[in-house]
Structure 1
Amino acid sequence: MLSVLLLGSFLLFAESVAGVKWSTPQGWKTGAARPMRAATYSVPMAPGDHDPAECAVYFFGQGSGGSIPANIERWKSQIVQNGQPAQAKVDKRAIHGLAVTTIESAGDYMGMQQQSAVHNYKLLGAIVEGPGGNVFIKFTGPAKTVEANRKAFDALLGSFQKE
């Protein structure tokens, strides 16, 4: 669901699913609807990079999508260094009363639909425990581009709140 609020001369886009809502970071473009995704954002590439990044917000339904540990482990396995799973930083915190698990990893990325790994990528991910089920946020792209958009990703996470 997409809501548009007019505040003075500014538009604030609020999206929602699973009893939570969030706001699109400034400069990120909302992509076309895709299966299993509540939202897809195209993130502009940093100077010197050759590819943009993508941030996807997934909701599979209440009780669906797998456990938090299983998803964190799957995301860990998608980033490798020297043929081994890369080091990943996993953290837990609360945002506006919602439990959130985050992950950060960098290396060669092999997404679920890819035929071969892409080098020097970064993954920032989060799982928000919403009243209507878990919401999965996965931000991937060239490491430089993802790092240049870290504050925007943090703002995205910080905007999650109960409806």
Structure 2
Amino acid sequence: MGALPPVPAGAGTGTAALTWEAPGDWEAVQPSSNMRRAQYRVPGASGDAECVVFYFGPGQGGDAMSNAYRWADMFTQPDGSSSRNVLTTESITVGDMAVLLVEVTGTYGGGRPMDGGGQPVPGQMLLGAVAEGADSNWFFKLTGPQETVEAQRGAFRAMMDSLKPGPGSD
């Protein structure tokens, strides 16, 4: 099973359809796995970041706060404290859709063991969002060097503000 082709403006079918407008300087690239509905290379002066969009199917993927905590747990803090202590969330509404915005900084653990792990990388940041779709949640994760991700904060928020149910999602 090959990876899905790049999807620059949204993805999904039927009740799962969701569209968004990606920032113009983000490069849509071929998703590296079938779990990724879209993937973008996000350029930055301190190194590129990556934005990935996940949709797992009806009823899959878990609730918004469980995912926020899981994302925070992928980071460690210099003093050894839990990254949940620096996790921030904000609930917004886009159209009729509830969206939880997530932010965490620290040393990124390099990924989950099922992804092959990786070396911890200090000075990283995650801006994430969980959008409650018609039949399941959609997950957006922008990760990379803190300076790059911080510089893309407005662009990420604009992308979240552009979320709309797609054709066939009524």
Q: TM-score, normalised by structure 2?
A: 0.82
Structure 1: 4+ residue segments shifted above 4 A: none
Matched, 1:136 2:139: yes
User: How many residues matched?
Assistant: 151
Secondary structure of 1:141 counterpart: strand
Q: CA deviation at 1:101?
A: 0.7
Q: What value does the CA root-mean-square deviation take over the aligned residues?
A: 1.8
Q: Deviation at 1:70?
A: 1.7
Letter in 2 for 1:27: D
Give the match for residue 24 of structure 1: 22
Of 122, 127, 134, 2:130 maps to: 127
SS in 2 for 1:100: strand
Q: Which runs of 5+ in 2 are unaligned?
A: none
Rounded to whole Å, the distance in 2 between the matches of 1:45 and 1:138 is 16
Identity score, percent: 36
The answer to whether the Cα contact below 8 Å between 1:36 and 1:59 also exists between their aligned partners in 2 is: yes
Superposition map of 1:1-163 within 5 A: 14-17=9-12, 18-33=16-31, 34-46=33-45, 49=46, 51-82=47-78, 83-86=80-83, 87-110=86-109, 111-112=111-112, 113=115, 114-163=117-166
Q: CA deviation at 1:80?
A: 1.6
Q: Contact 1:80–1:107 (CA<8 Å) still a contact in 2?
A: yes
TM-score, normalised with respect to structure 1: 0.85
**Contact map agreement 1:95 1:160 (CA 8 A) in 2:** yes
SS at the partner of 1:147? helix
1:139 Cα deviation (Å)?
0.6
